Amino acid sequence: MAFTFQPFSRKQLQALYWWHPGSGREHHRMMLADGAIRSGKTVAMILSFLRWSQTTFQDQDFILAGVTAGALQRNVLSPMFQMLETLGLSWEYRRSGGLVVIGKNRYHLFGADKDNAQDKLQGMTAAGAFADEAALFPRSFVDQMIGRCSVRGSKIFLNCNPNGAFHYIKTDFIDRAEEIGLYRLHFTMEDNLTLSPEIRESYARAFQGVFYRQYILGEWVSAEGAVYPMWDDDANTYLETGPRDYRGQRRYCAIDYGTTNPCVFLDVYDDGRVFRVRNEYYWNAAAAQRQKTDAEYADDLAAFLDGDLDTQIIVDPSAASFKAELRNRGFRPLDARNAVREGIATTATLIGNRQLLVEKAHCPNLLKEMHSYVWDEKARLKGEERPLKQYDHAMDALRYLCQTKTSRFRRWHGEEQA
């Protein structure tokens, strides 16, 4: 399939030609494109990297890195292959070997999601590198990747969305750009000429709080205080004063499994726009001074759901033994999408849009945790963004629900999510 190139904005053209002789930026060794989501930076950077590597080198090795192999395939390789078809360049994808050969150059594929991911780069000599979503890489991988690019004339292409104000990309790259030879281009949605004002507005509605400032405004700002400051005790709760008709609605049970830690079940109904958390189960083994077995938890779940085996169970993928017990009982457990940062962003959006409601009389622990769920200040000062790991078990179950089921959900004030 060919790639349909659209008119480039001024910022995209700068990303395309920064390495050209006479651009005024060709002396920089590294280039970083950061800023808002959907701002056109990735397409421009892929094309720029392809053109630079193909016109500058022959018979050399290059690094292509993504957060995971799947993310690299989706974000970089798929559009890149389409571009190659359009440009008429010969290429070969050797999936099993993690290699793409374009002309006479070799592009080695890497996932950077593990702390030891840099070990894969050991011993490699590269003429250049392209890092997609670089702010999500471990620092050790980025340092190793830059160090591997030792061929004369090598360059490093980085792109990412902003993270916290103390993230190493901000403090050690952006803030020291001239010192380390970095050319930085900051993108906004206006730099993507293919987005209509209506589409930009819909994206703006899709994020809340710090994620709005990072993903929409493109700011490097840190999350502080409450994780969900948009929560409203009136607007995000409801009270069942009598029998409520949930017929025709999808029913889920989101579970944060724990043995020594609390174990939480959330009974949730979905009418196609709003999640209603109707009830909770909360077993705190430490407080009760007794741990429960998988069989006991399965018994409790059956009672909690009144024996309804049609309820889809959403549970942390690591709870292998409990999932096996549930399958033996006839339940249908589904592995939760458990990425923390993405899950919190999705949950925050649903809370802010009042598309997540909690029954105030039946969910005391969830409501208590909602008010005590805060960002980890010590982690923030280290450039990491994560919630404080305490009073978060119902919050984890809620995040599993929102992140796993948002693809079936209206996130954009009544518009289906693209």
Q: Is residue 297 part of a domain?
A: yes
Quick check: 413 pLDDT over 60?
no
Cβ contact 406:346 at 8 Å: yes
How far apart are alpha carbons 110 and 67 in whole angstroms?
A: 8
Residues 286, 186, single domain; the answer is no
pLDDT in tens, 327-364: 999 999 999 999 899 999 999 999 999 999 999 999 99
Q: Is residue 132 part of a domain?
A: yes
Other CB atoms within 10 Å distance of the CB of residue 90: 9
Please give the tally of structural domains in the chain.
2
Residues 190, 275, single domain; the answer is no
Residues 246, 181, single domain; the answer is no
Give ∠ CA 90-94-96 in degrees, rounded to 5.
Answer: 175
Q: b/e per residue, 183-206, with b = 16+ CB within 10 A?
A: bbbbbbbebbeebeeeebebbebb
How far apart are alpha carbons 173 and 168 in whole angstroms?
A: 7
Quick check: 409 pLDDT over 50?
no
Q: Please, which pLDDT band fits residue 365 given cuts at 50, 70 and 90?
A: very high
Residues 117, 257, single domain; the answer is no
Residues 169, 74, single domain; the answer is yes
Q: CB-based contacts of 190: which residues, under 8 Å, 6+ apart?
A: 9, 39, 200
Residues 23, 154, single domain; the answer is yes
Q: What is the pTM of this model?
A: 0.80
pLDDT in tens, 51-94: 999 999 999 999 999 999 999 999 999 999 999 999 999 999 99
pLDDT in tens, 148-197: 999 999 999 999 999 999 999 999 999 999 999 999 999 999 999 999 99
What's the domain range around 133? 10-215
Q: Is residue 91 part of a domain?
A: yes
CATH number at residue 355: 3.30.420.280
Residues 32, 89, single domain; the answer is yes
Cβ contact 117:124 at 8 Å: no
Q: What is the pLDDT of residue 207?
A: 87
Residues 205, 280, single domain; the answer is no
Rg (CA), the chain: 24
